Homo-oligomer: A and B are copies of this chain.
Amino acid sequence: MTRLAVVPGDGIGPEVIAQALETVTALRIGIEFDVLDHINAGTFLRTGVALSEEDFTRIAGCDAVLLGAVGDPRVITPAYARGVLLSLRSRLDLYANVRPARLLHDDLSPLRDRANRGIDCVIVRENTEGLYGGSLHRMSGAEVAIDIEVSTARGVRRIVEHAFSLARRGMCMVDKSNAVPSGGALWQRIWRETAADHPNVATYHLFADVAAMRLVADPTEFDVIVTNNSFDDILSDLAAQIAGGLGTAASANVNPDTGFCLCEPVHGSAPDITGTGTANPVGAILSAALLLEHLGYGSEAKAVRSAVDRAVAAGHRTPDLGGSLTTQQAGSAVRAEL
């Protein structure tokens, strides 16, 4: 039996995860949930431990993880987010962060030009290296701060290759090789080598600043974008917004070699609306769909996605999408379409 570790986390995390779990349960495919609801900012503030060894072992022993949100205004330092989310990504070597951005309904697009609204791309983020992964974090006399950005040939190659495996129409590599010399050169070299192995995919390259611009100018040009940890952090939130807002964006953190994956909505813990019952459950529900797909339940995943499309098209929406449903009602509306 498939065992799913569930980390609801902070803020609206538990609220949206509840809807995702109810939706998975409604599919009656017998996935067992192992809920770790003590992993949150409250525990961290009390104990100083973000993720205990025991919890890590319990999570690693499952087949996959569904995570709500990690973050709390009381812990703005990186210790907590790094301790939970970044540490799971790195210890489980979930090197591919796959973030689909697909417009669910025309009226959700912030873009004026009708022809440009239909974003339907996948942003593939290197998830274990880059500016987040450096091991040197030093401040000399508190006056100079140094962070290091690391890229390895192995790390770049495996993420670029995974991105190619997802390409349908084309592949765009994003870097800043005109200004960031070492990483830029490595990404360029591996990119050219890997692209040569995929002569049938239309490939191109953009600098990170230009990519951000083009995502607004005409997002329909993109199919798959692959880039490093930091650039993709920004570009994928941007793409989510262009696809109708952060409330509906889902992501999968995957190790394509082991098959292990951690899925989570792209939104954060949203302390401003926590407890109001207005959080959008769609990001969490679509994250569950990504997870089902990775666990081999492809047709169930598709059913969930279609149910979401129909519910949103019918106007069953939370306030962020212009509706007035509660989190619970929006979740039920999706399940009613299953």
Those of A256-308 within 8 Å (CB) of chain B: 268
In the complex, whether A178 has a CB less than 8 A from a CB of chain B is yes
In the complex, whether A54 has a CB less than 8 A from a CB of chain B is no
Indicate whether A213 sits within 8 Å of B240 (C-beta atoms), given known contacts A78-B179, A112-B110: yes
Stoichiometry (number of copies) = 2
Please report the C-alpha to C-alpha distance between residue A143 and residue B185 in the assembled complex, in whole angstroms: 11
Residues of B within 8 A of A237 (CB): 209-210, 212-213
Those of A77-130 within 8 Å (CB) of chain B: 77-78, 81-82, 86, 109-113, 116
Report which of B109, B234, B240, B246 forms a contact with A208, defined as CB distance below 8 A. B234
1/0 per residue A208-245: CB within 8 Å of B? 11101100110000000000001101111110111001
Residues of B within 8 A of A177 (CB): 76-78
Q: Is A185 touching B150 in the complex (CB atoms < 8 A)?
A: no
1/0 per residue A182-214: CB within 8 Å of B? 111110110000000000000000001110110
Residues of B within 8 A of A208 (CB): 233-234
Please report the C-alpha to C-alpha distance between residue A132 and residue B177 in the assembled complex, in whole angstroms: 10
In the complex, whether A144 has a CB less than 8 A from a CB of chain B is yes
Residues of B within 8 A of A78 (CB): 177-181, 184
Shortest distance between the CB of A282 and any CB in chain B (Å): 16
Q: Name the segment of A18-26, A30-38, A134-142 touching the other chain.
A: A134-142
Q: Is B188 touching A216 in the complex (CB atoms < 8 A)?
A: no
Count residues of chain A with CB under 8 A from any CB of chain B: 65
Q: Is A150 touching B154 in the complex (CB atoms < 8 A)?
A: no
Indicate whether A180 sits within 8 Å of B212 (C-beta atoms), given known contacts A111-B111, A230-B230: no
Please report the C-alpha to C-alpha distance between residue A178 and residue B230 in the assembled complex, in whole angstroms: 12
Shortest distance between the CB of A155 and any CB in chain B (Å): 9
Please report the C-alpha to C-alpha distance between residue A142 and residue B238 in the assembled complex, in whole angstroms: 32
Q: Is A186 touching B238 in the complex (CB atoms < 8 A)?
A: no
Report which of B137, B210, B230, B241 forms a contact with A182, defined as CB distance below 8 A. B137
In the complex, whether A153 has a CB less than 8 A from a CB of chain B is yes
Indicate whether A185 sits within 8 Å of B216 (C-beta atoms), given known contacts A111-B111, A113-B110: no
Shortest distance between the CB of A68 and any CB in chain B (Å): 16
Residues of B within 8 A of A111 (CB): 110-112
Which among A113, A132, A241 has the highest number of chain B CB atoms within 10 Å?
A: A241
* Additional A-B contacts beyond A76-B188, A147-B149, A212-B241 (8; CB < 8 A): A76-B178, A77-B185, A78-B177, A78-B179, A109-B112, A145-B182, A146-B149, A217-B241
The 8 A-B residue pairs with the shortest CB-CB distance in the complex, in nearest-first order:
A145-B182, A145-B186, A209-B237, A213-B241, A112-B112, A212-B238, A145-B151, A147-B149
